[in-house]
Structure 1
Amino acid sequence: MKTLAIEPLTREAFAPFGDVVELEGAKQIPLNLGTTIRYHDLATVDVGDKGGRPLVNLFRGQPRTLPFEVKILERHPLGSQVFVPLHDKPYLIVVAPVGDLDPAKVRAFVTSGWQGVNYAKGVWHHPLIAFGDVSDFIVVDRGGDGLNLNEQDLHESLWLTEDALSA
């Protein structure tokens, strides 16, 4: 069984794949007579190719359990995809760089809870991996004409395990 190491999600580690959406380190702008803080420009939403438009969705992810078999990745060649959790529960992220899918370059991350991610256009990623409880996410992605989903099976499964989570 080929186990995939699971890294903590940080802006620096995730930069090749997109943006980490989090409050820490974000530009803060006071609004509404000082009663509100705007955490500004947290992700680059890129959905305009071929006349695309932004969609705002709610995804409800059913919990997965470890060990978990990663056997497929997907990508969106015409637009980025932002996931922002509506809870303070960790979830898992599996990604690979833009281009031909190379299983040797697949990486896995665990969030600290409130962190969201923005998968850059064309980045390979696993569909939502919530664990523990049913989990809700606001998802901003692309609507419009054109094929914006490619899926690819891995020739050899990768496994996410409890041991890899604590590494």
Structure 2
Amino acid sequence: MSPTLLIEPLTREAFAPFGDVISLDGARHFPINGGTTERFHDLATIDVGEAGGRTLVNVFRAQPRTLPFEVVMMERHPLGSQAFIPLGDVRYLVVVAPRGPFDERKMRAFAVHGRDGVNYARGVWHHPLIALGAVTDFLVVDRGGSQPNCDEIELAEPHRLVFAEVAAA
């Protein structure tokens, strides 16, 4: 039987070792433009300058996945961060592992609901997008440049994603 990876709720504190949660809840904000606009300030640390990189702004359209889902691979971007911001009120999953040599024992999975995004810090292992329920568009801010910037690995064995409340039942 495949090892299971419990899906936990996404919080700033739980995700901090892997990057930033991009959320308006609890964010520093203030009025601008004569009070007609509210600015939610400095929501993520975008890190793309390594080796002469430049900032890219993209839209990724993710096809929905269904549960149960097995994680069979992970990737990382050693030269820059990568931010995913959903362009709607959506559900998706995030699977991560710390920077450095990949250690499947340190993998974590998070459920994201609403409009919150994530910013993977440079070198953090993560699974490609796992949208749930519907085709989902994400605004993606990441690194462009001439150097290769994506390492992929296959897991020794698949890890099955399970919601914590299902596992407890």
TM-score higher than 0.5 here? yes
SS at match of 1:112: strand
Which whole-Å CA distance do the structure 2 matches of 1:158 and 1:113 have between them?
Answer: 25
Which whole-Å CA distance do the structure 2 matches of 1:61 and 1:73 have between them?
Answer: 17
Q: For residues 9-57 of structure 1, what are the alpha-carbon distances to aligned partners after superposition, in whole Å with 9 as ceiling and x for unaligned?
A: 0000000000000001111121111111010000000000010000000
Which whole-Å CA distance do the structure 2 matches of 1:85 and 1:122 have between them?
Answer: 22
Report the Cα offset of residue 121 of structure 1: 0.1
Greater per-residue strand proportion:
2
Task: From the superposition, tell whether residues 165 and 45 of structure 1 become closer, same or farther in structure 2 (CA, over 3 Å).
Answer: farther
Letter in 2 for 1:80: S
Matched, 1:14 2:18: no
Letter in 2 for 1:63: P
Report the Cα offset of residue 164 of structure 1: 3.8
Other-structure match for 1:3: 4
Instruction: Indicate conservation of the 8 Å contact 1:84/1:117, yes or no.
Output: yes
Other-structure match for 1:103: 104
Report the Cα offset of residue 166 of structure 1: 4.6
Residue ranges of structure 1 left out of the alignment (5+ in a row)? none
Aligned length: 166
Instruction: Indicate conservation of the 8 Å contact 1:6/1:160, yes or no.
Output: yes
Other-structure match for 1:128: 129
Residue ranges of structure 2 left out of the alignment (5+ in a row)? none
Give structure 1 regions of 4+ aligned residues with deviation exceeding 3 angstroms.
Answer: 163-167
Letter in 2 for 1:31: I
SS at match of 1:98: coil
Instruction: Indicate conservation of the 8 Å contact 1:60/1:135, yes or no.
Output: yes
Which whole-Å CA distance do the structure 2 matches of 1:112 and 1:34 have between them?
Answer: 29
Other-structure match for 1:83: 84
Letter in 1 for 2:105: A
SS at match of 2:100: coil
Q: Compute the TM-score of the two structures, normalised by the length of structure 1.
A: 0.96
Other-structure match for 2:139: 138
Letter in 2 for 1:87: G
1:1-167 aligned at under 5 Å gives the runs 1-161=2-162, 163-164=163-164, 166=166
Report the Cα offset of residue 160 of structure 1: 1.2
SS at match of 1:104: helix
Q: Compute the TM-score of the two structures, normalised by the length of structure 2.
A: 0.95
Q: For residues 89-108 of structure 1, what are the alpha-carbon distances to aligned partners after superposition, in whole Å with 9 as ceiling and x for unaligned?
A: 11000000000110100000
